[in-house]
């Protein structure tokens, strides 16, 4: 399997945003893989947690989460939790791949770490701590494709909440992280952390020297030390930065601007259903401390031909069965209907895009005035998905 040519995660913070922090991700996965959107309520259990390949110890209580995930694995490409934390991961290829750092050995997938971070954290900083602690204890690795056992990689993460964000980049059990408190940041399939490091694994520099990755001279540069020969995503990473600069110029960045970035086909940030690694799902989250956070998901491939549908965490939140695969071998209803509509060149997309715009406008008004009772949002995503299903049928 060739290296994926896309996967991008973005975050925009005040003073460039209209409300709170805006997180966005395109999840680009192997051709034919189904990505589902699932809601998992909060729970409490002392039992070990069976991830995709290995078990980890229980955390006791877990947060409610909404996830966009390949339907065959336990973990998720991206998602959010009830505390307003959003996390996405990227594949990265490094030059340290032996022993405990061999990405082909079944350990925790980067996607498992995304879900664990969401289920066990109440802030972005806590999410960083959860992921790095589990990474150091269990390591990362294992086939990242259901059909290709050789498709394996290390990971980078973007972790955000209503006030801050962290970029976490890893190589095996070692890692470096930087905090982002204003402006914007993006990650792609390449290491980006250089000499500015806010948190790191213990003994990082000594380890790099022991492996001959750094000569100990000058300032330590994480990217230079651990980047492998293959660096997919450089051009796309730069294109992402340029799109962020363009869309934030008004200092009024909002969810529809993030929709626009994720739908950009010229940069290949958005990839079609025919691509070897199509954009199989997309997420945009508006994370706010002063009003309910809103999380938008396509649950279908190619955001330029999909619509974003909103979800708000409530005490009795429900989602539609139409975004959940009946089995790991079967596509969910929305995926199947959307795929057929694209093949037929169905004009329903224009009607659905109008529906999306109306939903954004109506939700903006309601969210700005809602009180403590959020029950009117219980079926928000469910209703939007089932309306889309009716359009296709």
Q: What is the CATH number of the domain that holds 282?
A: 3.60.60.10
Position 4 scores a pLDDT of: 52
* Marked catalytic residue, from 7, 83, 273, 359: 7
Banded pLDDT at 1 (limits 50, 70, 90): very low
DSSP string covering 149-180: TT---EEEEEEE-SS-EEEEEEETTEEEEEEE
Give tens-digit pLDDT for 109-143.
999 999 999 999 999 999 999 999 999 999 999 99
Q: How far is CA 99 from CA 102, 105, 353, in A?
A: 5, 9, 49
Residue 82 domain-assigned? yes
Residue 324 domain-assigned? yes
* Domain enclosing residue 141, as ranges: 8-392
* CA-based nearest residue to 91, from 206, 14, 195, 2: 2
**Number of domains the chain is built from:** 1
Residue 83 domain-assigned? yes
Distance CA 60, CA 27 (A): 29
Tokens representing residue 216 in the block: 């100990």
Give tens-digit pLDDT for 234-267.
888 999 999 999 999 999 999 999 999 999 999 9
Is residue 359 part of the annotated active site? The answer reads: no
Distance CA 229, CA 121 (A): 34
Residue 36 domain-assigned? yes
- The pTM assigned to this predicted structure is 0.97
Residue 3 domain-assigned? no
Residue 2 domain-assigned? no
């Amino acid at each position: 399997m060739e290296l994926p040519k896309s996967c991008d995660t973005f975050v925009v913070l005040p003073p460039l945003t209209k409300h709170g922090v805006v997180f966005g991700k395109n999840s680009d996965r192997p051709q034919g893989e189904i990505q589902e959107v699932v809601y998992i309520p909060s729970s409490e259990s002392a039992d070990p947690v069976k991830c995709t390949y290995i078990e980890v110890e229980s955390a006791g209580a877990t947060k409610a989460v909404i996830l966009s995930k390949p339907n065959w694995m336990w973990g998720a490409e991206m998602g959010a939790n009830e505390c307003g934390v959003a996390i996405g991961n990227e594949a990265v290829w490094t030059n340290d791949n032996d022993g405990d750092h061999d990405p082909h050995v079944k350990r925790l997938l980067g996607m498992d770490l995304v879900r664990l971070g969401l289920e066990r954290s109440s802030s972005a900083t806590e999410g960083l701590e959860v992921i790095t602690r589990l990474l150091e204890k269990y390591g990362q690795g294992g086939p990242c494709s259901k059909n290709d056992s050789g498709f394996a990689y290390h990971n980078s993460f973007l972790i955000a909440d209503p006030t801050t964000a962290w970029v976490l980049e890893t190589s095996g059990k070692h890692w470096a992280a930087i905090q982002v408190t204003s402006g914007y940041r993006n990650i792609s399939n390449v290491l980006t952390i250089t000499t500015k490091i806010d948190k790191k694994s213990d003994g990082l520099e000594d380890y790099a020297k022991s492996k001959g990755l750094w000569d100990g001279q000058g300032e330590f540069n994480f990217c230079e030390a651990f980047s492998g020969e293959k660096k997919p995503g450089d051009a796309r990473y730069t294109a992402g930065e340029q799109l962020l600069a363009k869309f934030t110029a008004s200092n009024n960045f909002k969810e529809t601007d993030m929709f626009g970035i994720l739908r950009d086909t010229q940069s290949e940030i958005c990839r079609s259903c025919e691509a070897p690694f199509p954009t199989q799902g997309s997420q945009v989250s508006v994370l706010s401390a002063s009003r309910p956070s809103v999380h938008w998901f396509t649950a279908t491939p190619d955001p330029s031909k999909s619509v974003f549908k909103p979800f708000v965490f409530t005490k009795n939140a429900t989602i539609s069965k139409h975004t959940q695969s009946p089995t790991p071998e079967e596509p969910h209803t929305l995926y199947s209907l959307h795929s057929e509509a694209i093949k037929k060149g169905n004009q329903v997309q224009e009607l659905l895009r109008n529906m999306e715009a109306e939903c954004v406008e109506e939700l903006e008004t309601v969210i700005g005035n809602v009180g403590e009772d959020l029950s009117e949002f219980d079926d928000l995503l469910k209703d939007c998905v089932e309306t889309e299903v009716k359009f296709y049928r």
